Amino acid sequence: MPLIEIEDLRFAWPGHPPCLQIDRFTLERGEAIFLHGPSGSGKSTLLALLAGVQVALSGRLSIGGTELARLHAPERDRFRVDHVGLIFQQFNLLPYLSVIDNVTLPCRFSSLRRQRALADAGDLKEAAGRLLSRLDLAPALWTRRTTALSVGQQQRVAVARALIGRPDMILADEPTSALDASRQEAFLDLLMQECARSNIGLVFVSHDLRLVSRFRRIEEMTRLNPMARGE
Amino acid sequence: MTYLFVLALRSAWNRRLTLGFTLLAIALSVTLLLTIERLRVDARASFVQAVSGTDLVVGARGSPLQLILYAVFRIGSATQEMSWASAEAIAQHPAVAWTLPLALGDSHRDYPVLGAPRDYFRLLRHGDGEPLRFAEGVPYAGLFEVVLGAEVAERLGYRLGDRLILAHGGGHLAPEHADKPFTVVGILARTGTPIDRTLHVSLEAIEAIHLDWQGGAPIPGLTIPPELVGKFDLTPKSVTAVLVGLKSRAQVFAMQRWVQSYPDEPLMAVLPGVTLDQLWEIMAVAERSLLAVSALVAGVGLIGLVAVILAGLNERRRELAILRSVGAGPRRLMLLLALEGAVLTLLAIALGLALSHLLVLLVGPWLASQYGVWLRIAWPTAGQWLWLAAVFLVGLAASLVPAWRAYRLSLADGLTPQV
Amino acid sequence: MRGMRPLALILATLFLACGPVSGQDYKLGEKIRPAAPAKTSPAAGAPRTVNWDDLMPADWDPLAVLKGLDLARLDDADPRAQKALDDLKKAWDKAPPNRQLHGQRIRIPGFVVSLDGGPKELREFLLVPYFGACIHVPPPPPNQVIHAVARSPVKVRTMDTVWATGRLEIVRSVTPFGAATYVMQVEHVAPYKAR
């Protein structure tokens, strides 16, 4: 069964004509896809729908066999934290928590991810530490406030948070846009490496076509979504 | 979810500077409310207890309230004296059961000195008909003997047998009757009334120390040593007031009228209960206005809290989006914000309560010695609980404003706020 | 002691002999207004509702001493007016109580005059028939004053209008202000509403 299955999906903001229409889209488990397109093409909307933050007008969207439209809002919230990791462009971290506490955040809200994280580590701190080490973040940084880290370091902490407890998929919305050109590739390598390791599906949204080479599957948003409006 | 609660605390701690100031503002207004309420209750209690069983207070004609305040509570400026002859005439009136003439005017280190007959200790009642009790010693018998109120003995550290000097009038520059020291022969048990901060001597003693004085100053060239004083007639010539107890309390009006129309001297007879009731009326108006102002101040503080949280909400949209991404729904976030406001209000109330206790500790002794009002450190009164509850409820309701806003924002923003 | 002088002065000036006193809208010297009629007839053994006139014996007229004087024609400064007033006072001092009420349980409305300094709760107070018992108004004769004694403190203030219920006793007095006074052992005090 594919991880993501979309069929005849239509979405419109209240009081507006439909802005998203996808006839068919699938993503397999562990598959990584590079999604690009101009502003207004519906990238953020698709991510919002995949994350269960918005609900489609019609059509089918199921993740791991669960149809999101059938869930109530609180159930969708729960589903999101259980199965989806999220990485934003910047400001991913809560400024008043330490690095470790930021990473373990999803495990505090999802018992499913907590169990999975504890499956191969003694406690949450250890699980978080392992991820951070693999992402080239030294232990000295783990107890620091997030404001003390560089942007690149913060983004990698965000990756660790998205990965902990092995969700089914990760949605990344322009995660490299705030990084220096020299760091972007290294970041992407780490991300994809970890996703492959744990068989996590990756939807990578970006406008930076230089990163395309690492992906086997590339989609252009205006092609996927005929309702896309240009700038 | 308890972790959400932990996050709320950490988040608030992160913004402690701005939140701290609004917290302080609310706490201070709570302190104001509580203190006024406490003063209201305790001031009444202090005043209540001082008179019991006294039907009339007689003095020279003037302001009834001033007489009561001065003669009974030793507060305010001195009243005109009345003659000893009139005091005797009243004492001999067939309707009168007992009288206690009182002489005020001297002091000792800011505490008033009361000249009273020895019967004072036997006859006087305070509180709910309580008689005076001695913690140590006995009433004065000899001329230069003094009985101290509990507060005076405690504050100034006097024991039985100590000697002290009285001063004429009040204030720091009062001339002293240095050549006639008094010996402490008794210390009264605490009463919670102005009795505690009074020194008691006999009427004859007051007369004795003023023998060689004229118009408030020692007569130059004339000093009468204490040993020779006994040879003079020490009957007082005038007194400040006379406390009167009647054989039949229902006849108080008739007696009052008799005193008012006394032909030899312009006198007035005051019903202490009635006069004090009138005082409470005035005080009630002042209290109500003060309470209204304080409530307003508290309201302003709470509005400030709401404003601060609302203002910070914009910066926290990212924070809300992150929380949404880990599974917190809009309703949970609304709860979070409301909880934040509620907890802050609660903290402010607790701080205000603590500050009000501190205030009582710091200001209490001064208030007691200056104005005869005893503030107690006690659990909040019913009135105070009401105010605390009111502040909390208003704070809670006010917190719903940013909470609602957070709800709407997180709904609208989803995962990608336009920050 | 020091520094309170201005405050004492202000309070004193705010204070005329009677000062502002509570008491709905009665004027000085005004008698208590008739009560709202009782809704049901009293049960047997219930206290008897009386009014202040009942406290005077039927054969005693408080204004008897003024008979024969044409008060309207008398000038204030006229010595006869002064003598009339003096005679009135003397007569009132001797005002006898109504012996029939001795030992009876009665219920009577009146104005409270505080004895002792309690702000809200009193054990003893006086009950008078008219508003403003102080020097500006002639005091009531002794058979128009009730000395009320309560077993437990009552929440009243000076010039509150109340219904007082209790056992009335006539106590002998050896003073020139009256041969006897009324004392009531108060069972119950309730607020009084005029019609």
pLDDT tens-digit map of A110-142 = 899 999 999 878 888 999 998 899 888 889 888
Calpha distance C113→C124 (Å, rounded): 9
Whole-number Å distance between alpha carbons of C105 and B323: 76
Q: What is the mean pLDDT of residues B151-158?
A: 89
Please name each of the domains of chain A with its CATH number.
Answer: 4-224 (3.40.50.300)
pLDDT tens digits for range C173-188: 877 877 788 899 988 8
pLDDT-wise least confident of A198-207, B121-130, B191-200, C40-49: C40-49
User: B414, B325 in Cβ contact below 8 A?
Assistant: no
User: Which residue among B3, B326, B415 sits closest to A53, beta carbon to beta carbon?
Assistant: B415
pLDDT band at residue B217, thresholds of 50, 70 and 90?
low
To the nearest whole number, what is the mean pLDDT of chain C?
72
Contact C139 B69 (CB under 8 A): no
Across B77-92, average pLDDT: 90
Residue B418 resides in a domain: no
User: What are the beta bridge partners of residue B215?
Assistant: none
ipTM above 0.90, yes or no: no
Residue of C9, C93, C123 lying closest to B254 (CB–CB)? C93
Any CB–CB contact under 8 A between B131 and chain A?
Answer: no
Q: Which residues pair with B188 in a beta bridge?
A: B134
Residues A120, A128 contacting (CB under 8 angstroms): no
Question: Which residues make Cβ contacts (< 8 Å) with residue A3, sequence separation at least 6?
Answer: A27, A28, A29, A31, A63, A64, A168, A169, A201
Measuring CA to CA, how many Å separate B136 from each of B111, B123, B127, B184?
A: 20, 19, 21, 10
What pLDDT, on a 0 to 100 scale, did the predictor assign at position B221?
Answer: 65
CB-based contacts of A205, cutoff 8 Å, min separation 6: A35, A36, A43, A44, A47, A171, A172, A173, A174
Q: How far is C69 from chain B (nearest CA, A)?
A: 25
Mutate to test the interface with B, among A11, A89, A93, A96 (most CBs of B within 10 A): A96
Q: How confident is the model at residue B222 (pLDDT cuts 50, 70, 90)?
A: low
Query: Quick check: C2 pLDDT over 50?
Result: no
B128 in the same domain as B250? yes
User: Residue with structure tokens 């005029």?
Assistant: C194
Please, which residues have CB within 8 angstroms of residue B272's CB and are 6 or more apart in sequence? B51, B54, B56, B57, B68, B72, C116, C117
Contact by Cβ (8 Å): B37, B390: no
Are chains A and C in contact at 3+ CB pairs closer than 8 Å?
Answer: no
- The token duo for B353 is 């309560």
From C126's Cα to the closest Cα of chain B, the distance in A is 7
End-to-end Cα separation, chain C, in angstroms = 48
- B108 within domain boundaries: yes
Residue whose entry in the numeric block shows the structure tokens 């983004």:
A155
Same domain, B346 and B261: no
Shared domain for B208 and B134, answered yes or no, is yes
Are residues B380 and B250 both part of a single domain?
no
In this structure, is residue B43 part of a structural domain?
Answer: yes
Residue B106 falls inside a structural domain: yes
Q: Residue B350: its pLDDT value, please? A: 93
Q: Which of B270, B301, B321 is the last residue of a domain?
A: B270
Question: What is the residue range of B195's domain?
Answer: 56-270
- Nearest-Cα residue of chain B relative to residue C19: B278
Question: Between chains, do C135 and B256 touch, taking CB under 8 Å as contact?
Answer: yes
Q: Which of B250, B269, B225, B221 is nearest to B86 (CA)?
A: B269
Among B18, B336, B415, the strongest candidate for a mutation testing the A interface, having the largest count of A CBs within 10 A, is B415
Touching chains, A (3+ CB pairs < 8 A):
B
Tell me whether residue B21 is in a domain: yes
Range list of H helices, B145-251: 150-156, 203-209, 226-229
pLDDT band at A218 (very low <50, low <70, confident <90, very high): very high
Residues B169, B317 within the same domain: no
Q: Is B171 on the interface with C (CB under 8 A)?
A: yes
- Give contacts of B328 with chain A, Cβ < 8 Å: 77, 109
Does residue B382 lie in a domain region?
A: yes
Structure tokens at C175: 């003073």
Q: Do B249 and C115 touch (CB under 8 A)?
A: yes
Q: How many CB pairs under 8 A join B and C?
A: 160
> Closest-CA residue in chain A for B326?
A81
The last residue of one of the domains, among B220, B252, B270, is B270
Domains in chain C, start-ordered, CATH in brackets?
48-60+95-191 (2.40.50.870)
Would you report the helix, strand and coil content of chain B in percent, each value rounded to 5?
55, 15, 30
Mean pLDDT of all residues belonging to chain A: 89
Which of B326, B340, B418 to substitute to test the interface with A, most A CBs within 10 Å?
A: B326
User: Who wins on pLDDT, A65 or B78?
Assistant: A65
State whether B204 and B332 are in the same domain: no
Cβ contact, residue pair B414, A48, below 8 Å: yes
Instruction: Compare C73 and A101 and report the one with higher pLDDT.
Output: A101
Give the span between the Cα atoms of B302 and A47, in whole angstroms.
Answer: 40
Q: What is the pLDDT of residue C62?
A: 67
Contacts of B331 in chain A (CB under 8 A): 74
H or E element in which residue B36 lies: helix B16-48
- Chain A contact set for B413 (CB, 8 A): none
Residue B309 pLDDT greater than 70, yes or no = yes
B1 contacts A96? CB cut-off 8 A: no
More confident residue, B97 or B173: B97
pLDDT cut 90: percent of chain C above it: 1
- Is B419 inside a domain boundary? no
Taking the CA of residue C43 and the nearest CA in chain B, the distance in Å comes to 31
All residues of chain A having their beta carbon less than 8 Å from the beta carbon of residue B1 are 109
- B255 lies in the same domain as B284: no
| Strand duo A58-63 + A66-67: pairing | antiparallel
Q: How many CB atoms lie within 10 A of CB C107?
A: 19
* A109 → closest Cβ in B10, B11, B327: B327
Å between B341 CA and nearest CA of chain A: 18
> Is B69 part of the contact surface with chain C (CB cutoff 8 Å)?
yes
Overall average pLDDT of the C34-45 stretch: 56
Asked if residue B226 and residue B209 are part of one domain, the reply reads yes
Interface contact C146-B250, CB threshold 8 A:
yes
Interface touch A86/B415, C-beta < 8 Å: yes
pLDDT above 80: residue A176: yes
Q: What's the token pair of residue B272?
A: 């202490």
B370 touches C at CB < 8 Å: yes
Number of domains in chain B: 2
Please report the pLDDT score of residue C37 as a whole number: 54
In this predicted model, what pLDDT tens digit does every residue of B259-291 receive, in sequence order? 988 999 999 999 888 888 888 788 888 888 888
pLDDT at position C1: 42
In this complex, the residue of C3, C139, C173 whose CB is nearest that of residue B256 is C139
What's the rounded Cα separation, in Å, for the pair C175 and A90? 98
Q: Radius of gyration (Cα) for chain C, nearest Å? A: 19
Per DSSP, B173 falls in state: T
**Closest-CA distance of chain A to residue B393, Å:** 29
How many CA atoms within 13 Å lie on the side-chain side of B390? Answer: 16
Query: In this structure, are B87 and B183 located in the same domain?
Result: yes
**Best to test chain A binding among B323, B325, B409 (most A CBs inside 10 Å):** B325
**pLDDT at residue C53 tops 60:** yes
Phi and psi, residue B225, nearest 5°: -65, 155
Which residues in chain C are contacts of B251 at CB distance < 8 A? 142, 145, 173, 175, 177-178, 181
CA gap B6, A154 in Å, rounded? 22
The reply to whether B249 and B284 lie within a common domain is no
B1 interfaces chain A, CB cutoff of 8 Å: yes
Domain match, B256 and B400 both? no
Q: Both B221 and B349 in a single domain?
A: no
- Whether residue B64 has pLDDT greater than 80: yes
Q: Which of B250, B270, B290 is the C-terminal boundary of a domain?
A: B270
Q: Is B359 exposed, middle or buried (0-12, 13-18, 19+ CB in 10 A)?
A: middle
Higher pLDDT, B338 or B177: B338
Residue B231 has pLDDT above 50, yes or no: yes
